[in-house]
């Protein structure tokens, strides 16, 4: 078998690939922000002293992360079609709910890894509980879980490819469209794979450059997604 590569077909459809890349980046960013916010809130509840709060957080985590991401996409796009949400919004909701469950476990584990004496010392110095959490506990927990958060951000970029099943025109969707027109399967998907790799490496590099997180302890891998 002698396969002749023809990269000109990929170059001719570069506009579609670039558009798909922009949508992938937009989808990842739009999903990452609410993922972190919801994950922090649920993770904090999971580490609280209230049994009811811990139970509620546990139910959320188990309910969201044990349902495949593909099902999350279909639920918002098809099962809840009466909401008339655009495909992009459905993809963001699916990615957010699914990924925030993993962030919640990371945050819960990170808070649990901070010595309790830190919060007691903060309270003894006159800080209110929420101030101790924001100024003392969270910074230490973030440093502990930073490596795993970086892995999760990279995973979210890769998971965004599933949005193609609900007609979001991101990289994988555009790759399928181009391959259907040109039948240059290897060239198209090698190009897409390189772009995904570049995005993931760029995110990992950027997070690694954040001051104070470069030497984060390895315990941060305790709940790696």
- Taking the whole predicted model, whether its pTM rises above 0.95 is answered as no
Q: How confident is the model at residue 205 (pLDDT cuts 50, 70, 90)?
A: confident
Q: Please, what are the domains in the chain?
A: 8-223 (1.10.3720.10)
pLDDT in tens, 79-93: 888 888 899 999 999
pLDDT in tens, 169-187: 999 999 999 998 888 889 9
Q: What angle do CA 84, 88, 91 make, to 5 degrees?
A: 95
Q: What DSSP character marks residue 137?
A: I
């Amino acid at each position: 078998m002698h396969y002749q590569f023809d990269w000109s077909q990929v170059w001719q459809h570069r506009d579609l690939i670039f558009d798909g890349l922009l949508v992938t980046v937009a989808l990842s960013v739009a999903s990452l922000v609410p993922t972190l916010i919801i994950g922090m809130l649920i993770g904090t509840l999971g580490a609280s002293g209230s049994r009811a709060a811990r139970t509620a957080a546990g139910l959320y985590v188990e309910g969201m992360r044990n349902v495949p991401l593909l099902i999350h996409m279909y639920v918002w796009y098809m099962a809840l079609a009466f909401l008339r949400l655009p495909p992009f919004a459905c993809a963001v909701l699916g990615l957010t709910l699914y990924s925030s469950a993993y962030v919640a476990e990371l945050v819960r584990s990170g808070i649990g890894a901070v010595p309790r004496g830190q919060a007691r010392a903060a309270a003894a110095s006159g800080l209110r509980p929420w101030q101790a959490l924001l100024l003392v506990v969270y910074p230490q927990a973030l440093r502990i879980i930073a490596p795993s958060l970086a892995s999760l951000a990279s995973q979210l970029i890769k998971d965004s490819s599933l949005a193609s099943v609900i007609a979001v025109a991101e990289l994988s969707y555009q790759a399928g469209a181009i391959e259907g027109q040109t039948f240059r399967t290897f060239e198209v998907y090698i190009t897409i794979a390189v772009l995904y790799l570049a995005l993931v490496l760029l995110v990992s590099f950027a997070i690694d450059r954040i001051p104070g997180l470069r030497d984060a302890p390895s315990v941060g891998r305790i709940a790696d997604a």
